[in-house]
Structure 1
Amino acid sequence: MKKQAVAVGFVLFSFMLPTKASAASFDQLYIFGDSLSDQGNVFNATEETFPPRSSYFEGRFSDGPLWVDYLASQLGLKPTLLTDIDFTTIPPTPVPTQGINFAFGGASSGLGNALVPDPRLPGVLKQVLGFAETLKTNNQTADPDALYTLWGGANDFFFINPKDSATPINNISLALNTLVEIGAKNILVFNLPDLGKVPAATIGRNPTTLSQSTSDFNLGLATTVSALSKNPDLNIIPIDIYSLFNQASELGITNAKESCLSRLDICKPGDNKFLFWDDFHPTTGVHKAIADAALAAIDAKSVPEPSINLGILALGAFGAVGVLKRQQKKSALVSAARIVDA
């Protein structure tokens, strides 16, 4: 019953507001999350050693582009990676005119990384709080015409505590409310797929516990989204990943239990019949379906009419991360090879 409520709830939330404008009105794209949204921040931080080029696509945790790559292309935007910004210059360069990708592989829902205990590898909440602090320090607010995306929580269950759903719910809800407080108007919010059905669930983990925690997390997140959606000035757009993964067969996927990397005898990069590329991460074909679902939800919901562009160019809140690849080097990230997060 809980699972059904989660699925129905997120689908209903996607159609609560009338359409006012198209997605083309977005002028910037800001991404907060973990490896499912990381376009290369961990790759840069580890001096392009992880994820390995031999098995992964251009610093992504998949066999091809991620959902954010596809969506950004559809919106005509190209956000700057946080680790590409040089904070040693004044002003920092390059100036991110089309947004920033703050997502890091291994990010917990909170302040740190679920796998590498390094304060310069921010969790999802810290990514948002740092962004907010940067704006406040410069007496700015978030660009109301930008699109903000928020997706995290899975690493808490896989690597921290599979039974504690309250902490990730609180962290993601706080991150979402913080974005609203600093002026964000258009926010994509993703729930979690059934973690008990991910290939990694059977590797030293309890699938039943992970499934229950997923349901609890999604219900808690849906409650937060429902409350915020009552504000007519906000455009909160929930994306129901839970239902999307459970209906994988409709995408032509015939193997939702094994990872492609574990069956290279019958699976190669770009094989759209596999749901997962490795034990945690979906294939690029699934990422494409996620991007299509996100774009459809955007078009189905209200996008506020473009306001006067305030010219807000958020330059990031983690200067230390910006110089990580120059100062930290490989020695401080020896354990990065253990990053197999979701």
Structure 2
Amino acid sequence: MAMKWAFAVGILGILAASPASAGRTTERFTSLTVFGDSLVDAGNLFIANGGTRPDPALGYFEHRFTNGYDYPDLLSVDLFGKPTTPSLAGGNNYAFGGARIVDTGDSIPDLQAQINAFKLSPQGIDANGLYVLNFGGNDVFGAKGVFGPVGAIGSYPDISSYLQAAAQQYVSGIQELNNLGARNILFTDFPMAGDPLTIEANGYLATALKGLTLSAGTDLFQYSLNDLNQRALTDPASLDLPPLRFDTNCVAAGAQATGCAGFFSFDGVHVTAAVQAAGYKDMDRKFGLTMAQAVPEPQSWIIMIVGFGVIGGALRYRPAKAPRSAAS
């Protein structure tokens, strides 16, 4: 009986002292680093091409590819009081419009190039920071020929091989960040809702993720932009959105002055700021990105250690058994 009570007390001590998030030791994330494509580009492409794209005259907001802040910007505003800053302006947002996972030889910094630029920067890894990866759309666009010839997949023999390589390289990027010391990683899937190649690519992604080996204490947050876009189109109320038009886009309709109210797409490729904001709120609800987490005080760690000690002592203690009689 005494051993049972000791075990219970020990467990309670451990639970009372356990940190709410294994991936960091601060109440909130202390930095935000972004890798990705135009969906989360804070102005790198605009700076790189001399300020001609995205064209501010069409209503693109502060060099983003939509009419307002994107979801990493909104997270940054909530955490630090300001949006993300492009890496070409000295910030932590390395995303580039047109970036892919796979490097097919163009001048746009793709996934590995963005990680390499981060490694060469003076920032260093922040174990209490959040690292966001948002890729995949342009890999599918390239395979479909949206911005060029169909099957713009470099030296890969076919589209399926390319998509499989994209999924594997995406997971390799996540693995590299983990190996560098990142302990809080959020990544999104291939985002084009209902598209057959996107479904195929996300299947490869699920398989590749099974080979991921994370360090102890790493928190991995997977968010499906595919599902978000599907919900925005078929069940917008579930995201606190009004019914959305998808027969045309805000720019084509000349509705920028209305804030693109009631539109799913801003320009035919990128979603409106309202959908970005809905996705951010959904992520925050799911992962508690802005929620202050309880961090163990020194005395809490002592309680935890004592708890383990009580359990260890209880398990080592074994009362002597009465000798059995010959009749037993």
- TM-score in same-fold range (> 0.5): yes
> Aligned to 1:147, which of 115, 130, 134?
130
> Aligned to 1:101, which of 61, 82, 93?
93
| Counterpart position of 1:173 | 171
Structure with bigger RCO (C-alpha 8 Å, 6+ apart) = 1
- Letter aligned with residue 20 of structure 1: S
Greater CA radius of gyration, 1 or 2? Answer: 2
Q: Which consecutive residues of structure 1, in runs of 5 or more, have no partner in the other structure?
A: 1-17, 86-95, 197-210, 307-342
Query: Whole-Å Cα distance in 2 between the matches of residues 219 and 304 of structure 1?
Result: 36
* Pair 1:130-2:117 in alignment: yes
| Counterpart position of 1:65 | 69
Residue 154 of structure 1 deviates from its aligned partner by: 1.2
Distance 1:177 1:280, change over 3 A: same
* Pair 1:255-2:241 in alignment: no
Higher mean C-alpha deviation, range 168-177 or range 254-263: 254-263
Give the secondary-structure state (helix, strand or coil) at the position aligned to 2:187.
strand
* Pair 1:29-2:18 in alignment: no
* 1:239–1:294 contact (8 Å) kept in structure 2: yes
Identity between Structure 1 and Structure 2 (%): 28
> Aligned to 1:298, which of 259, 273, 287?
287
> Aligned to 1:47, which of 43, 50, 70?
50
- What are the equivalent positions in structure 2 for 1:74-223 lying under 5 Å apart? 74-76=78-80, 78=82, 79-85=84-90, 100-111=92-103, 117-118=106-107, 121-132=108-119, 134=120, 142-159=125-142, 160-161=152-153, 163=160, 164-194=162-192, 211-223=195-207
Q: TM-score, normalised by structure 1?
A: 0.65
* 1:125–1:174 contact (8 Å) kept in structure 2: no
* 1:256–1:276 contact (8 Å) kept in structure 2: yes
Residue 141 of structure 1 deviates from its aligned partner by: 5.9
* 2:193–2:227 contact (8 Å) kept in structure 1: no
- Letter aligned with residue 260 of structure 1: C
CA RMSD of aligned residues (A): 3.1
* 2:99–2:109 contact (8 Å) kept in structure 1: yes
Distance 1:80 1:229, change over 3 A: same
Spell out, residue by residue over 1:130-171, the C-alpha distance to the aligned partner (whole angstroms, 9 max, x if none).
Answer: 323x37xx8x96210110000111112212346531121122
Residue 48 of structure 1 deviates from its aligned partner by: 1.7
- Letter aligned with residue 101 of structure 1: N
Query: Whole-Å Cα distance in 1 between the matches of residues 138 and 186 of structure 2?
Result: 19
Give the secondary-structure state (helix, strand or coil) at the position aligned to 1:179.
helix
* 1:276–1:282 contact (8 Å) kept in structure 2: yes
* 2:244–2:263 contact (8 Å) kept in structure 1: yes
- Letter aligned with residue 84 of structure 1: A
Give the secondary-structure state (helix, strand or coil) at the position aligned to 2:57.
coil
Q: TM-score, normalised by structure 2?
A: 0.68
Q: Which consecutive residues of structure 2, in runs of 5 or more, have no partner in the other structure?
A: 1-18, 143-151, 154-158, 297-328
* 1:24–1:75 contact (8 Å) kept in structure 2: no
Query: Whole-Å Cα distance in 2 between the matches of residues 272 and 227 of structure 1?
Result: 42
- Letter aligned with residue 202 of structure 2: N
The total of aligned residue pairs comes to 253
Query: Whole-Å Cα distance in 2 between the matches of residues 305 and 215 of structure 1?
Result: 40
Query: Whole-Å Cα distance in 2 between the matches of residues 276 and 127 of structure 1?
Result: 27
